[in-house]
Amino acid sequence: MTTKYVHWGGAKIKLTWQRDKKLPPISLITSVHGFCFKDNQLLLVNLNHRGWDFPGGHIEFQESPEECMKREAYEEGYISGRCFPLGFIVVDHNENPNWNEDSLYPKVGYQVFYRMDIERIHTFQAKYESNERKFINPNEFKRYYHDWNELHQEILDFAINPT
């Protein structure tokens, strides 16, 4: 378990990675993300206005976290496959003086992470929020991802070797 403090929107937020295949309450899941692999290569998507990233996003109405991951992987990377839960980042706003009851996110929320084993690579169409995809050696990921930190590294390491 790794904890890191970040500054989002001028506020200090506590993030803690927790390996746990049991999901937190769906009402507290703020986003779902995944590291997607094909032949030991990792998928990156070039998101409009954000740069290179791994697929992920927000759960839509009546969607499970796994369904969200599969939809986001298709919409952003035009891939499909099997998902395996890895755990979640606890996003704790208890030390955030800007948080209040009207905030978009819960005081303590969760970002769920999956590993996806890609079974099919579909024709890339750039219809949604990404304009490009590429497959890279997982060790090169931090060269592309601008907010890379030790939490992401721990999750990626676990996605590569989940034992």
Q: Answer yes or no: are the C-beta atoms of 85 and 23 closer than 8 Å.
A: yes
Question: Can you give the three-state secondary structure of 15-48, one letter per residue?
Answer: EEEEECCCCCCHHHEEEEEEEEEECCEEEEEEEC
Between 27 and 149, residue with greater pLDDT: 27
pLDDT for the residue 11: 86
Percent of the chain with pLDDT over 90: 75
Burial of 105 (0-12, 13-18, 19+ CB in 10 A): middle
**Averaged pLDDT, 83-87:** 96
Give the amino acid at 162: P
Q: Please name every residue paired with 45 in a beta bridge, in sequence order, or none if there are none.
A: 53, 133
**Averaged pLDDT, 77-106:** 94
**Averaged pLDDT, 80-107:** 93
pLDDT for the residue 60: 95
- Taking residue 66's Cβ as centre, other Cβ atoms within 10 Å add up to 18
pLDDT for the residue 124: 95
Rounded distance between C-alpha atoms, residue 77 and residue 11, angstroms: 31
Q: Would you place residue 9 in the very low, low, confident or very high pLDDT band (cuts 50, 70, 90)?
A: confident
Q: What are the sequence ranges of the domains in the chain?
A: 2-160
pLDDT for the residue 149: 85
pLDDT in tens, 24-80: 999 999 999 999 999 999 999 999 888 999 999 999 999 999 999 999 999 999 999
**Averaged pLDDT, 134-160:** 91
Q: Would you place residue 103 in the very low, low, confident or very high pLDDT band (cuts 50, 70, 90)?
A: confident
Q: Answer yes or no: are the C-beta atoms of 70 and 83 closer than 8 Å.
A: yes
For 2-160, CATH gives 3.90.79.10
